[in-house]
Each structure stands twice: as C-alpha cells, then as structure tokens.
C-alpha cells in the first residue's frame, strides 16, 4: 500500500469556524432583525451560484438582504459576515506542524464563496499552510460532487491511496472514500491527531 504523502483539508469546521453556515446566518437574523424564513428561501436558490463563484458577494446580498431598504448598510452587513470567521488554534497548529515537517503536500478541498475565501486565506495565513486551494469558488464545483475530489487528485498528481482528506461532515467524506482516499471525520483537534497517527501521519 502506498504511504500517505498528501493531505487535503476542509477549512470551515476543521481549521476555522464556518464562514457563512446556518449558525452564522442565525446570528445575522438576530443582529439585523431579519425575517429568517424569507432570507433562507432566497439563500437556498442562489447558494450554489454564490459558492461556485458565479455571483459575487454584492450580488448575493442584493438578492438575499438588500432587495428592499434596510436600516443598516451593506458594509455593516459585510463587516459582520467577515467577523464570523474565527480560528481553531489547535487544529491550525497541527496543520502547521505537518507543513514544517516537509513530509506532506497540503491542499484544501472546501466550499466557499470567493470574497469570504480570499478574506480567510489572507487573515489566517493559509497560504503558509497550503500549496493548492481546491475551493468551490475557484473550480466551479462543490462538495460532495465527486468531480471536485477527482480534480484535486489531478492537480497534485497523486494516487487516491496516497492522499488523506479531513472534513467535519460525513457526507463530504463519502465520495473521497469511494475514490480510494483515506478519510478522517474531524470531531476535535485531539481526536484528529489520534486519527492522523493511526495513518502514520505525524510531523
């Protein structure tokens, strides 16, 4: 069996908080006194286009929030969205230690809109960790579409058996496992470390 030499990581829920998931949206509904049902109905229609980079953040907000006058500005709403991103320090430290070991190639496979993805890459120094970003907004594919995992393998020119993918959601791990990749469902930083060691992945 080939040894693992490449790690792919989800970002939101693994290394950082989610950027704009149901929890963050609920906070926005409260902070800005939004009708949650109306927002979610509009969000569901365009979230795929938002996360595959087909529409911009401004276009997304135009359709979900600012289709009518609001007592707050677009910049205020964006500032809140950006503020939702928080680091998971223990998981980030483990990823950085693996990079420092120079034993493994590192990449992401993550679903994210272009503006939020760019903000998070810059703010949390993710370029120092990852060589390749297989982000939905860049490649126009979203997990769990099997094509995004196949593309990730093509980009790094590795066999599935040489790769491990870490995600917090089982549904996103299933296609990677079917391709032959090793997978870990992230539950905690301590559990992640233990699962990595079982696969022979350590700094």
Contact 19, 64 (CB under 8 A): no
Same domain, 11 and 31: no
Q: Are 156 and 171 in contact (CB under 8 A)?
A: no
What does the alpha-carbon distance between residue 196 and residue 90 come to, in Å, rounded to a whole number?
14
Other C-beta atoms within 10 Å of 196: how many? 20
Q: Could you tell me the CATH number of the domain that includes residue 54?
A: 1.10.150.240
Name, in order, each residue with C-beta under 8 angstroms of 118's C-beta and a sequence gap of 6 or more: none
- Give residue 159's domain range: 6-17+86-198
Q: pLDDT per residue over 94-126, tens digit each?
A: 999 999 999 999 999 999 999 999 999 999 999
How far is Cα 18 from Cα 24, in angstroms, rounded to an integer?
8
> Within a domain: residue 76?
yes
Q: Give the tens place of pLDDT for each residue, 40-74.
A: 999 999 999 999 999 999 999 999 999 999 999 99
Q: Which two tokens stand for residue 103?
A: 């034993």
Crossing angle of helices 74-83 and 114-123, in 10° steps, is 50
What is the reported pTM? 0.95
61 in any annotated domain? yes
Examine residue 203 and state whether it is found in any structural domain, yes or no.
no
Average pLDDT, the chain: 97
């Amino acid at each position: 069996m080939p040894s693992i030499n490449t790690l792919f990581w989800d970002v939101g829920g693994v290394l950082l908080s989610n950027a704009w998931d149901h929890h963050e949206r609920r906070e926005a509904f409260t902070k800005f006194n939004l009708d949650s049902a109306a927002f979610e109905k509009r969000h569901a229609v365009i979230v795929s286009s938002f996360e595959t980079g087909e529409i911009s953040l401004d276009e997304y907000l135009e359709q979900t929030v600012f289709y009518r006058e609001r007592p707050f500005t677009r910049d205020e709403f964006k500032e809140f969205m950006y503020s939702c991103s928080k680091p998971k320090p223990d998981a980030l430290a483990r990823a950085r230690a693996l990079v420092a070991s120079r034993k493994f190639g590192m990449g992401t496979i993550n679903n994210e809109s272009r503006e939020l993805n760019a903000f998070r890459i810059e703010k949390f120094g993710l370029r120092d960790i990852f060589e390749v970003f297989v982000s939905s907004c860049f490649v126009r594919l979203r997990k769990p579409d099997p094509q995004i995992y196949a593309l990730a393998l093509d980009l790094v020119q590795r066999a599935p058996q040489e790769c491990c993918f870490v995600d917090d959601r089982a549904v996103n791990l299933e296609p990677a496992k079917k391709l032959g990749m090793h997978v870990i469902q992230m539950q905690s930083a301590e559990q992640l470390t233990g699962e990595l060691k079982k696969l022979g992945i350590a700094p």
